[in-house]
Chain A
Amino acid sequence: MTSDGKFGVIGKPLQKVDAVAKVTGRAIYADDMLLPRTLHCRILRSPHPHARILSIDTSAARRIPGVQAVITGADLPIKFGILPVTQDERALEHEKVRYVGDPIAAVAAIDEEIAAAACDAISVEYEVLEPVMSIDEALAAPKDERIQDYGGPHNIHKLVALEFGDVEAGFAQADHVREDVFFFQGNTHLPMEQHSAIATYVDGRITLWSSTQVVHYVHRALSKVLELPMSRIRVIGAAHGGGFGGKTDPFAHEIIVCKLAMLTGRPVKCTLTREEVFYAHRGRHPVLMWVRTGVTRDGLITAMHFRTALDGGAYGSYGVASTFYTGALQTVTYDIPAYRFEGCRVFTNKPPCGPKRGHGTPQPRFALELHLEKIAHDLGIDPVDLKRRNFVMPHTRTVNWMRVTSCGLEECTERVMTASGYAHRDKRPGHGMGFAISSYLSGAGTAIYWNDMPHSEVQIKVDRGGVTAYCGAMDIGQGSDSVLATIVAEELGLQPADVRLVTADTDTTPIDLGSYSSRVTFMAGNAAIEAARKMRGMLIEAVAAKMKCDAAAVEVAGGRIGDFSFQEASVLAEGRFGTLISAGSYTPPKLAGPYKGSGVGPSPAYSYSACVVDLEADARTGLVKVNRIWIAHDVGRAINPLLVEGQVEGSVYMGLGEALMEEQAFRKGLHKWPSMLEYKSPTFLDMPEVETFIVETVDPEGPYGAKEAGQGPLLPVPPAVCSAVYDALGVWIDEVPVTPEKIVEALRRRAKGEPARFGPARFPSIPYPTAIKVEPPPREMDRAATSSI
C-alpha cells in the first residue's frame, strides 16, 4: 500500500500465479508422477455393506507373477481418524467391514493390471450382518450388531442438545408458531481429479505426494499409523485437481502406499478409480430436519427450535463437528432471541460422510430459508420483507455466542433484488423466482485437535532481490497461492509474479491447517501480512539509513523502496541484518462461548450472500429450467475479484447441482451409481448465466478486510430453487434434489386435495438428552469489543 492508502495489487483482477502451468498442462498432479521403479497399488474393497471378516487368504494373489507385496489389516492395525474423539478407521480392516467399498487388502505390483487381478485373487470369508441403511433403521435396535462399538443407543453416533435463552417464553410470546420437516439428500464432491498418492521410502524416511487438501493432517495420521516420528515423514501436496472438502481427511490409500513403499523399498502409487472416489466420499450428510419457530404478527422471530438427524455413514470422520454445524449458523443471519438445537448423527452402512463445501450448514440453511418463507405466507407478509426484518445487525453477538462483525446481508439483498427485478417479476404460471440468503465462516475459530500452535504461519525469505514465501497451505484451485503472493507483493511493493512460493510441504513450510472451512485467505493471509510487514520494516530501515531519512518517508511501491530498486534495497538490508527472513502467524481470537460444543461455529468473520433464482417449471412434466441466477456475496474485501467471482460462480454451480440432480443414492446396500455418467453433474448446457455481485464490507479482522468466498455462496441456491418452484407452481418441494418426479407427485397430491408438497412426512423420535441451558451473552457485549479492534 502506498502512503496515500492506495493498493498496488490488492483488488486487481490479476492472473493467478499458477495459471500458465495449468493452461499448458505443465502442472504436475499426483497421478502425473512416475518415479523410477514405481509399483502400482490397487485396493481390495468390501462387497458387503456390513460383515465380520472371518479369514483373508492372500496366498493366490502373492503367487501371481509381478506381485511385489500384499498387505492386510494385520499390517496396519492402528486406528486413525480426523477428529481425536473418533479414531475409528483403519487403513485396511481385518475384523469387520462397514460399507461396500471398505478397504480390506492392498497389492503392490509392477503394473495396475496385475495389481487388480491379484486383488481379485484374494479370498475373504465373511459372516454377513444385517445392514443399516437409513436414519430410521439406525435409530432402531440393530438386528445383528451395532456398526461401531461407541456412541449409542443403537447406531446413534452423537447426540447434542443446547438451549440458549428462554425458548418456552419465546414461544409463549409468539402470535404464530409453525413447524416443518425437511430433508436434504446426501451428495458428493466429485472432484474431476481422482484421489492419488505416491510414496517413497529412502533411508528411513517416507516422502508422500498426495492430492490432499491438508498436508498436516495426513502427516499426523501417517505418523500415528506407521509409528514413525513426524520428522521422518514428509508430505507434499501435489498440484490439486479439486477438493471441495473431499480430500480433507487422511485416507486409507495414503497410508497404504507408504506402508507398501516401506515393505518393497520402491516407490508405490495408488490412484483411486472413479468408483473408489465415491467410496472415499466424506461428502454432504443426508439430513432430516424439523424446525419450529414462533413469530410476532409482524414476523419477528421470538423463538426457534431446530432438530437435525444426520445420516453419517459408517465412520466418524468430521461427523461430530458436522452435527454441531447443523445447528450453529442459523443465528448468524437472523436475530433469534431464544434458540434450542438438538442434533443427532447416526451410523449407517454407507461410505462415511464428512465436510463438503459449506460443511453441515447447507442443509439447515435450506430448511430455515424455506421455513421462514412459509411463515411469511402464513402471515401474508412478503417473504423477502419478513427475512429482512429479522436480519442480524453488524457487530453483535448471537444468542449462541457467535460474534458477528462485518455483515453485508442488507446490501447483498438489495443488489440481487434490484438486478433481478424480483419484486416486479412476471407471475405467469410455470415461471417463478425465489430468494434466499446465507452466511458462512471465514475459517473455524478452533482447531480440530487441541494444540497451542497458530492456525497458520508464513515465512518470508529475501535474497538477491528475490522473495520467497513459505506456507503450509494447499492451493486446491481456489487460488490460495495467488492470494499469498498478492499479499506479500502488496506489502513489499511488488507484483505477485515476483514472489516465489513454497507451499504445502511439511518438510519446508511452516504449519497451516489446510484448505477447508474457508480459512486460507483469512488465516494464512493475516499471517502473510505479519511476515511481510516485518520484512518491509527491515527493508525500509536499511533504505532509510542509506538515504539518511526518516523511515516514514520511505515509500514502498512499484518495485521500489525509497530511492532504490527492490533488489538494491534487499542487498542493503541483507548487509545490515544478515540473512533476511521474517515470519508471521495467525491465531484466531478466542471466540467460543461458555458451553460444551461452542467450538463449532465461531469464526473470526462471517461472509454473507443473497441469491435470486429465476426458472420455468413445467406442471405436466415436472421439468425445471433455470433461466438465470443473481448472487451477491459479501467477501469483506476482494483481494482478487477474479478469484472471488470464480469461487462464487463455482459455488452456485455446485449448489445448483445439489438442488436439481446430485444425489448419493443407495440400493440393496450398494451405491446406486458410482460413475460420472449416472451421478449427475451439470454440463455446460445445464448451467444458466450467473450474475455475480461482490459486496465489500471491509471486515475489521480480515486481511485488508477480506472474508471467505468459496463456500457461503453455495448455500442459498437450493432454497432459492425451491422457493422459485413454489412461486411457479404453488407446490413446496421440501427436499433436494428437486427431481421432476417429485414436482409431479406434489402436484398430484395437491390435485387430490392433500397438502401441496413433497417431502418427509415426519421427524423420528430421537432420545435427545435434556438440553444444556446456556445463558445468552449480554446483547451489547461486542459493540465495544469489536470497535476496539
Chain B
Amino acid sequence: MKQEVLRDVERVVLKLDVNGERTELLLPVHKTLLEVLREDMQLTGTKHGCELGECGTCTVLVDGRPELSCLVLPIQVEGHAITTVEGMADGAVLHPLQQAFAELGAAQCGYCTPGILLSAKSLLETTPRPSRDEIREALAGNLCRCTGYSKILDAVELAAGRMT
C-alpha cells in the first residue's frame, strides 16, 4: 500500500453525459463514477454507504438501468446516459416518484432515498404497474435502515398508479 501513491496518476479526458448535460472532464482513470459525481461534478445527491457494491446507496442509472456507481469507472460509461437523483425532477416539478416519496414519508433520513428512487424509476419504465413483489425484487439491492421498507413500497405503488 505504501508504494502505490508514488505511482503516476493516469488521467483521461472524458465526455460524460449526466442528466442530459454533456461535460468534458480531465479525470484520474482510477476514480470511480461515485467519486467523480460527488467530488468533480458537485452532484452530491448520489450517496455512499460501503463503496464495495454491498448496499445500493450509490445507485445511478446508466442508459436507464440501475448500476452501482461505486463500482463503475467513468471511462466505462462514456457515451452512455447517466441519470442521478438531480436529474429526476422536470425542472422544478418533482418526478411522480419523488412526489409520492415526499407525501408518504418514504424518506426518513433520506440517505438511501436517491438510490431507491432511481431503482424504482427504472422499474416503472419497464413495468408500469408492478406488483408489490415485483417492487421488492427490483429494489432488493438497496438497503434502507430507517423505514422498514413499508412506506417505500406504498410510495412506489402510489407513483405507479399516478403515472399510468
Instruction: Report if A29-B47 is in contact (Cβ < 8 Å); known contacts: A23-B113, A24-B88.
Output: yes
Q: Does A479 belong to the interface (CB within 8 Å)?
A: yes
Complexed CA–CA distance, A684 and B116 (Å): 11
Knowing A23-B94, A646-B151, A652-B148 are in contact, say whether A685-B44 is a contact too (CB < 8 A): no
The 9 closest A-B pairs by CB, nearest first: A25-B45, A477-B109, A22-B110, A653-B148, A241-B111, A649-B148, A19-B102, A32-B44, A25-B85
B98 and A24 form a contact (CB under 8 A): yes
Q: B16 an interface residue at 8 Å Cβ cutoff?
A: no
Known contacts A117-B1, A274-B51: does B143 contact A25 (CB below 8 Å)?
A: no
A190 to B146, CA, bound (A): 10
User: Taking the complex as formed, is B4 at the interface, i.e. its CB lies under 8 A from any CB of chain A?
Assistant: yes
Chain B residues bordering chain A, tally (CB within 8 A): 58
Interface size of A as a range: 35 or more
**Interfacial chain B residues near A120, Cβ < 8 Å:** 1-2
Q: Can you give 16 contacting A-B residue pairs, CB < 8 Å?
A: A13-B105, A23-B98, A23-B117, A25-B114, A113-B5, A192-B55, A192-B109, A192-B112, A645-B150, A652-B148, A653-B147, A654-B145, A675-B54, A677-B52, A681-B143, A683-B143
A43 to B60 CA separation, bound complex (whole angstroms): 30
Q: A16-B105, A193-B109, A677-B52 are in contact. Are A650 and B147 (CB under 8 A)?
A: yes
Q: Are B45 and A24 in contact (CB under 8 A)?
A: yes
On A, residues with C-beta under 8 Å from B are 13, 15-16, 18-29, 31-32, 34, 64, 66, 113-114, 116-117, 120-121, 189-194, 239-244, 273-274, 476-479, 642-643, 645-646, 649-654, 675-677, 681, 683-685, 687, 689-690, 692
* Complexed CA–CA distance, A243 and B50 (Å): 16
Q: Are A676 and B45 in contact, with the CB atoms below 8 A? A: no
Cα–Cα, bound, A646→B104 (Å): 9
Chain A residue at minimum C-beta to C-beta distance from B109: A477
Tell me the B residues contacting A by CB distance below 8 Å: 1-2, 4-5, 38-39, 43-52, 54-55, 57, 84-86, 88-89, 94, 98-99, 101-105, 107-114, 117, 135-137, 139-151, 153
Q: With A and B bound together, what is the CA distance between A248 and B144 in angstroms? A: 20
Tell me which of B5, B57, B109 has the highest count of chain A C-beta atoms within 10 A of its own C-beta.
B109
Query: How long is the Cα–Cα vector from A476 to B145 in the complex, in angstroms?
Result: 12
| Contact, CB under 8 Å: B136 / A25 | no
Closest-by-CB residue of B relative to A654 is B145
Q: Which residues does chain A contribute within 8 Å of B85, judged by CB atoms?
A: 23-25
Minimal beta-carbon separation of B8 from chain A (angstroms): 13
* Contact status B149-A684, CB under 8 Å: yes
- Tell me if A479 and B108 are in contact (CB < 8 A): yes
Q: Do the beta carbons of A645 and B146 come within 8 Å of each other?
A: no
Alpha-carbon gap, A685 to B137, bound state (A): 7
A686 smallest CB distance to B (angstroms): 9
| CA of A27 to CA of B86, assembled, Å | 11
Roughly how many angstroms separate A194 CA and B45 CA in the complex, as a whole number?
A: 15
- Decide if A193 touches B111 in the complex (CB within 8 Å): yes
| Given A192-B143, A650-B148, A28 and B44 contact (CB-CB distance below 8 Å) | yes
Tell me the minimal C-beta distance from A16 to chain B in angstroms: 6
> Which chain B positions have C-beta within 8 A of A192?
47, 49, 55, 57, 109, 111-112, 143-146
Known: A20-B98, A242-B109. 14 other contacts (CB 8 A): A15-B103, A19-B101, A23-B85, A24-B45, A24-B94, A25-B85, A28-B44, A120-B2, A193-B47, A241-B47, A477-B108, A479-B105, A677-B50, A687-B149
- Among candidates A16, A66, A113, A676, residue contacting B143 with C-beta atoms closer than 8 Å: A676
Contact of B110 among A27, A675, A689 (CB under 8 A): A27
A22 close to B113 (CB less than 8 A): yes
Tell whether, in the assembled complex, residue B113 and residue A685 are in contact, meaning their CB atoms are under 8 Å apart: no
- B94 and A32 form a contact (CB under 8 A): no
**Docked pose: A651 CA to B149 CA in angstroms:** 11
Chain B, residue nearest A691 (CB): B150
Q: In the bound complex, how far is the Cα of B94 from the Cα of A418, in angstroms?
A: 40
Residues of B within 8 A of A121 (CB): 2
Taking a contact as CB atoms closer than 8 A, the residue among B54, B103, B151 that contacts A677 in the complex is: B54
Let me know if B50 and A274 touch, CB within 8 A. Answer: yes
Q: Shortest distance in angstroms between B142's beta carbon and chain A's nearest beta carbon?
A: 7
Partner of B50, one of A646, A649, A676: A676
Give the residues in chain B near A66, CB-CB below 8 Å. 5
Closest to B44 in A: A32
A419 to chain B, nearest CB (A): 15
Partner of A116, one of B1, B109, B148: B1
Q: A299 to nearest B CB, angstroms?
A: 33
Of B47, B103, B108, B137, which is within 8 A of A650 by CB?
Answer: B108
Give every chain B residue within 8 A of A649 (Cβ-Cβ): 147-151
A392 to B26, CA, bound (A): 68
Q: Would you call B5 and A117 a contact (CB within 8 A)? A: yes
Report B-chain residues with C-beta under 8 Å of the C-beta of A241.
47, 109-111
In whole angstroms, what is the CA distance A464 to B112 when docked? 38
Q: Chain B residues with Cβ under 8 A from A25's Cβ? A: 43-46, 84-86, 114
Q: Is the CB of B2 within 8 A of A20?
A: no
Chain B proximity of A640: nearest CB distance (Å): 8
CB within 8 Å for A19 and B105 given contacts A117-B5, A685-B136: yes
Give the residue name and chain of the B residue nearest to A689 (CB). Answer: B150
Q: Looking across the interface, which residue of chain A has its beta carbon closest to that of B119?
A: A684
Contact B137 A476 (CB under 8 A): no
**A646 engages B5 (CB within 8 Å):** no
Cβ of B149: which chain A residues have Cβ within 8 Å of it? 649, 653, 684, 687
Question: A472–B2 Cα gap in the complex (Å)?
Answer: 44
Docked complex Cα distance between A23 and B152 (Å): 12
> CB < 8 Å: which of B5, B50, B88, B94 contacts A20?
B94
Pairwise interchain contact A646-B109, C-beta atoms closer than 8 A = no
Whether B148 pairs with A20 at a CB distance below 8 angstroms is: no
Residues of B within 8 A of A683 (CB): 140-141, 143
Which chain B positions have C-beta within 8 A of A117?
1-2, 4-5
Are A650 and B146 touching (Cβ within 8 A)? yes
Minimum CB–CB distance for A627 against chain B, Å: 14
A477 and B148 CA atoms in complex are apart in Å by 13
Which residue of A23, A244, A478 is within 8 Å of B101 (Cβ)?
Answer: A23
